[in-house]
Amino acid sequence: MTLDLARLRGSIPALLTPFRDGKVDVKTFETFVDWQIAEGSHGVVPCGTTGESPTLGDDEFAVVVGAAVKTAKGRVPVIAGTGSNSTSHAIELTQLAQKLGADAALVVTPYYNKPTQDGLYLHYRAIAEATRLPIIIYNIPGRSVVDMTPETMARLAKISNIVGVKDATANMARVTKQRLSCGAKFVQLSGEDGTALGFNAQGGVGCISVTANVAPRLCAAFQDACTKGDFAAAREMNERLMPLHEALFCETSPVPVKYAASLLGKSSETCRLPLAPLGETSKARVRAAMTQVGLLN
């Protein structure tokens, strides 16, 4: 584990995956990653849920993570989404990400299986023992059904390369509870753009963000203000961004954010089935929010 954990902070977009003719559009993706870094993003997450990871084959996973590493060139950390509800598959993906040069792995709680807290502990311990990459737990009960408790997280925090959490519970009390149970050095990243301000105020250090896909400069400035303790400026930017945060979840993510990115010419709006194209009413809402924030004329 060679990554300086202080670099796991700020605005970290959960990158969308552009498609063209049914395949990963690698050139567009590389251009998109470079733009994200140029706009001030502090890290990138390829192959997360926003990147439609459930629909990517292992060969496509390798292409996307490899392209992110190649484009980032060490300028920001590349945190590969390597989670699966199969422990053996999660290990394979994490080892592949390590081989491809990723800096860390984001591992979602196993969905559908509904493991107990002991099952969660054993799942993450097995992955951690199989890699030298720093591992960030991704706790998102709304998608995976299971919720890792602060007590289980504290057990896992004792494993040297389990270094933090992406918390998408939207439960603000969790930040303090996890800080007390896991220690102040345990990296806490919000997984909810709309609650990132309160999350940071209680000890969080950043956000793995959907909105940063289309508003990277503003999201980075917001996170920088939080890091400096300038919560008055952060609050002002948060209020500006809130209509966009909400619009990008008017239908199942990443459908709205891919449409928003298409308005900027950064990606096609195409998502893979079973995600349906964005409805016309939702398109109007996303476009209006983009205009209100100042991303469109």
Active site amino acids: 138, 166
Going across the sheet that includes 187-190, the strands are 10-13, 206-209, 187-190, 162-167, 135-139, 104-108, 79-81
Cα–Cα nearest to 128, from 98, 100, 99: 98
* 280-293 helix and 255-263 helix, angle to the nearest 10 degrees: 60
3-state secondary structure of 69: helix
- The angle at the Cα of 261, spanning 242 to 286, to the nearest 5 degrees, equals 45
| Dihedral of alpha carbons 7, 174, 190, 61, sign | positive
